[in-house]
Amino acid sequence: MAQPQILIVGAPGAGKGTQSANLVEEYGIEHVTTGDALRANKDMETEHGTPREYMEAGELVPDELVNEIVREALESADGYVLDGYPRNESQVEYLESITDLDVVLYLDVDREELVHRLTGRRVDPETGENYHTEYDMPDDEEVRERLVQRDDDTEDTVQERLRVFEENTAPVIEHYEDHAGFVRIDGEQTPEEVWDDINEAVDERVD
Ligand code: AP5
């Protein structure tokens, strides 16, 4: 069988990036993530302004720009996990016009837990590895000292990202509930338990 085409959806902080890394390792597929692609091109000038202006305010970057990133990435991928897209109904329509999905994973996490995870998240700028101030700090002092907070992980921006999620992306998840490959995963378990559930669900649907 061809490599699996997987969509992972969930609110900001639900663990999409964390679990995408496991999917990439297990199935040898591409990680297609609009968030990382936009962060790598934050200051790119477009007719709508730069991605940075939208991201630092917690708002969605205009569809035209994001659709193009996804189209190019999917065209060259032999199997993928798509993370961070689609985030509104117009992006759903575009996605459905360019590809088919085998599995749709929805990571379900409560709002309070999301705020806690995001405001405590710290990133190693050299490796891109995520840590958390309360329960997951690196042992190496040099790494600890170079950790930074993502510009959009401050309390105010996190609240705005969650508002934008409720307004734009929650309907996207409802849309996919009817998809044959849809599965809801309890995202409040430990990362290892979440991965066990995902691995089992994907194996059942793609073998
Ligand atoms: P993006 O980068 O996609 O951010 P997001 O969806 O807000 O998601 P995050 O990366 O913050 O969270 P995640 O679910 O990946 O969780 P993670 O695994 O890191 O988007 C950023 C911005 O870009 C948007 O606001 C928008 O402006 C723009 N953008 C992107 N896509 C767009 C699109 N399609 N259209 C328009 N604009 C777009 O985990 C979070 C933390 O929790 C980490 O510290 C992690 O260690 C920890 N953690 C993970 N799992 C667990 C667990 N099970 N238990 C405890 N802690 C855990």
Is 194's C-beta closer than 6 angstroms to any atom of ligand 1? yes
Q: Which of 34, 95, 198 to mutate to test the pocket of ligand 1 (most atoms within 8 A of CB)?
A: 34
Residue span of the structural domain in which 123 resides: 5-206
Report the pLDDT averaged over residues 86-110. 97
Q: What are phi and psi of 143, to 5 degrees?
A: -65, -45
Domains held by the chain: number: 1
Map residue 85 onto helix, strand or coil. Answer: coil
Is 60's C-beta closer than 6 angstroms to any atom of ligand 1? yes
pLDDT at 206: 87
* Ligand 1 atom at shortest distance from the alpha carbon of 187: 53
pLDDT in tens, 179-199: 999 999 999 999 999 999 999
Place of tokens 């995963």: 185
Report the pLDDT averaged over residues 67-93. 96
150 labelled ligand-binding: yes
CATH of the domain at 45: 3.40.50.300
pLDDT at 2: 81
Report how far residue 49's alpha carbon sits from residue 57's, in angstroms, rounded to the nearest whole number.
13
Report how far residue 22's alpha carbon sits from residue 153's, in angstroms, rounded to the nearest whole number.
23
pLDDT for residue 207 is more than 80:
no
